[in-house]
Structure 1
Amino acid sequence: MITSPSSQRRSERSRRATLEAALELCTEKGYGRVTVEAIAARAGVSKKTIYRWWPSKGAVLLEAFTDGFIGATPFVDTGDIASDLRTHINSAVRVASTPPYGPAYAGILSELHHDGALAEAVQEQLVGPRFAAAEERLRKAQRQGWIPAGANLPLAVEMLYGPVYYRHILCKPPHDEATVAALVDHVLRALGAVAGGGREPDIS
């Protein structure tokens, strides 16, 4: 059935209201106390509507977090791979550790160990695409001559993100900008990356 433009707009408004309500409630009450009923009441939609679009509250919050996380953590290309990675990782740390997205992220990480469907969705909607985007940014730097051709880019991505996840999962204080800079420099050195900021690498 073809949906009319007006009903599409109503559906998008309902979707946004649901995601925003879920984030608000998670910040106010904590992930464990959020229910689909409460989300529906806050968003002004029916519980049936939520279950038509999402299988669980975890799925609602995952979509809300993923939307915000991807929008706030782009992979820019200024010509300086170290600076670009620092920008990305610092943005990721801020989004994952502060409201409204931080409480949702913490709850999702806890819940996925008990919910196989949510764990699969996290991999498909968040982790997989982000890792692929990070690897592509490194591959572009590789094509530009900043990173050696034989470098293990998938491992480098794990090295970049691993410490961030580690601190979040263990409820340690998030990395500050100096620590992020040290992390990025360490990973790039491990890759054998060319030093020199934004200057053109010597690929002769």
Structure 2
Amino acid sequence: MAQAPNPDLRSLRSHRAILDAAVELAIRDGYAKVTVEAIAQAAGVGKQTIYRWWHSKAAVLLEALNDRTGPAARVPDTGDLATDLATATRAVMLLFNTPLGTIWRGLIADAQSDTRLAENLRTSFFEPRTARWQERLDAAVTAGELRADVPTQTMVELLFGPVYYRLLLGTAPLDPDGTTARVDYLLNGLRAR
């Protein structure tokens, strides 16, 4: 007697196919041209399957990017704060210089008019990473490496804000090679006096 198909396994395969199709379409055609219909067709699922799990193409792509980049990683702590900050910002710039950066830009743009997406961006991506950085910077404050009168949330914004500024406005290239100098400029205003 043939074994009945496992619906959970089928759901996992469909889920994976949808995430992969969404990223592949966004890379190939551009974020703006991706539709739920195109994702469904490329993944070999019905449109209703996508809407059962996500409310929009942006929600699919956010999950796909979170899946590709992984959870908030432990922040480097080599004992050299400037090197750790430069390493982290360089990694973000390198990621944004890949086709995933274009998708990220589209997600942030959509979040300006989609409050649900904006909330998901904050809770699933930014808040966990900001919390990790705040822990690292709190330790640097405690060690006397950074000023205690600047909230670590603000420090995180000062560190990564220029990267997003360049990504979203295109004011200058995302230049990983200049990261060490930019971190030095930043730390000259944050170092304990």
Shorter-chain TM-score above 0.5: yes
Match of 1:77, SS state, is coil
Displacement of 1:89: 0.7
Q: Report if the CA contact (8 A) 1:147-1:193 is conserved.
A: yes
Moved over 6 A (4+): none
Alignment map for 1:120-139 (pairs within 5 Å): 120-139=119-138
Q: Distance in 2 between matches of 1:62 and 1:189?
A: 35
Q: Report if the CA contact (8 A) 2:32-2:106 is conserved.
A: yes
Q: Distance in 1 between matches of 2:7 and 2:143?
A: 47
- The percentage of counterpart residues that share the same residue type is 44
Matched with 2:18 is 18
Displacement of 1:128: 1.8
Displacement of 1:71: 5.5
Q: Distance in 2 between matches of 1:107 and 1:115?
A: 12
- 1:187 and 2:180 aligned: no
1:24 partner amino acid: E
Structure 2: gaps (5+ residues): 1-5
Q: Deviations over 1:89-148 (max 9, x none)?
A: 11111112311x112111112211221221121111112222212111212333444334
Matched with 2:33 is 33
Match of 1:32, SS state, is helix
CA separation of 1:55 and 1:80: change in aligned 2, threshold 3 A: same
Q: Distance in 1 between matches of 2:69 and 2:123?
A: 15
Q: Report if the CA contact (8 A) 1:73-1:92 is conserved.
A: no
Q: Distance in 1 between matches of 2:113 and 2:148?
A: 40
Match of 1:114, SS state, is coil
TM-score, normalization by structure 2:
0.85
Q: Deviations over 1:144-166 (max 9, x none)?
A: 44334444311111101111111
Q: Distance in 1 between matches of 2:148 and 2:102?
A: 40
Matched with 1:69 is 69
CA RMSD of superposed structures (Å): 2.2
Q: Report if the CA contact (8 A) 1:76-1:84 is conserved.
A: yes
Q: Distance in 2 between matches of 1:116 and 1:189?
A: 37
1:187 partner amino acid: L
